[in-house]
């Protein structure tokens, strides 16, 4: 038994020397895990704050999108009524009321960050801001140019709410006879 005690005492100093290295490595590992957990918690907090800010900022997107249809209809009614040759006092009063309603709706949406995005005939088609409803052959402008704006586009806080619906120019298609002659000419020169 006395020999066993001596063996334990003899091993104890070597274990003590080996343990500090193991403890230091374990401490470094735990410190690294703690720092990673803290960084992960901070990233989660930032993501949650950003998500909450986006939710506040864009919460009315669906509602605003639905209102845009009403604004479009008011504008169509104004254009149609203004094109009438004769307008009586009652017509003028009604038009003034419709204009005031359209202005009020537009200014209300602007207070919540909804803005009209510029889309004009003669500008290049931009698929990130425009929706091409159709293409027309038009030699007067370059292919890929907006020829006509059917519905205005809108953004909400610099994010697209609704693209402008436009008609876009394309190259004039060759007639069937011209295309046939061109194919025949190219086959004669090859053969």
Asked if 13 and 42 sit in the same domain, the reply is yes
Q: At what angle do helices 61-82 and 89-111 cross, to 10 degrees?
A: 160
Asked if 16 and 50 sit in the same domain, the reply is yes
Asked if 150 and 102 sit in the same domain, the reply is no
Asked if 123 and 161 sit in the same domain, the reply is yes
164 - beta bridge partners?
A: 130
Asked if 91 and 121 sit in the same domain, the reply is no
In a domain? residue 184: no
Three-state secondary-structure class, residue 136: strand
pTM of the predicted model as reported, rounded to 2 decimal places: 0.62
* Angstrom distance (rounded) from CA 8 to CA 16: 12
Going residue by residue through the chain, which has 191 residues, state the pLDDT in tens, using 9 for 90 and above.
555 555 555 555 444 455 778 888 889 999 999 999 999 999 999 998 888 887 777 788 888 989 999 999 999 999 988 888 888 888 888 899 999 999 999 999 999 999 988 888 889 999 999 999 999 998 888 898 999 999 999 999 889 999 999 999 988 776 644 555 555 555 555 54
Give how many domains the chain has, as a whole number. Answer: 3
User: What is the span of the domain harbouring residue 29?
Assistant: 1-59
In a domain? residue 179: no
Asked if 52 and 65 sit in the same domain, the reply is no
Q: How far is CA 104 from the centre of its chain?
A: 26
């Amino acid at each position: 038994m006395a020999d066993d005690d001596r063996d334990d005492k003899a091993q104890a100093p070597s274990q003590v020397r080996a343990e500090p290295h193991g403890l230091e490595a374990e401490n470094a590992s735990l410190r690294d895990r703690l720092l990673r957990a803290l960084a992960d918690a901070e990233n989660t907090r930032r993501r949650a704050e950003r998500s909450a800010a986006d939710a506040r900022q864009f919460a009315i997107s669906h509602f605003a999108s639905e209102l845009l249809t009403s604004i479009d209809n008011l504008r169509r009614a104004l254009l149609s009524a203004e094109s009438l040759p004769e307008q009586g006092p009652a017509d003028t009063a009604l038009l003034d009321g419709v204009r005031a309603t359209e202005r009020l709706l537009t200014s209300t949406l602007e207070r919540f960050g909804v803005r009209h995005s510029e889309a004009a005939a003669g500008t290049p088609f931009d698929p990130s801001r425009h929706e091409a409803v159709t293409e027309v052959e038009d030699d007067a402008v370059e292919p890929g140019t907006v020829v006509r704006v059917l519905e205005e586009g809108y953004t909400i806080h610099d994010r697209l709410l609704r693209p402008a619906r436009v008609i876009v120019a394309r190259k004039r298609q060759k007639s069937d006879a011209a295309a046939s002659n061109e194919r025949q000419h190219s086959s004669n020169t090859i053969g």
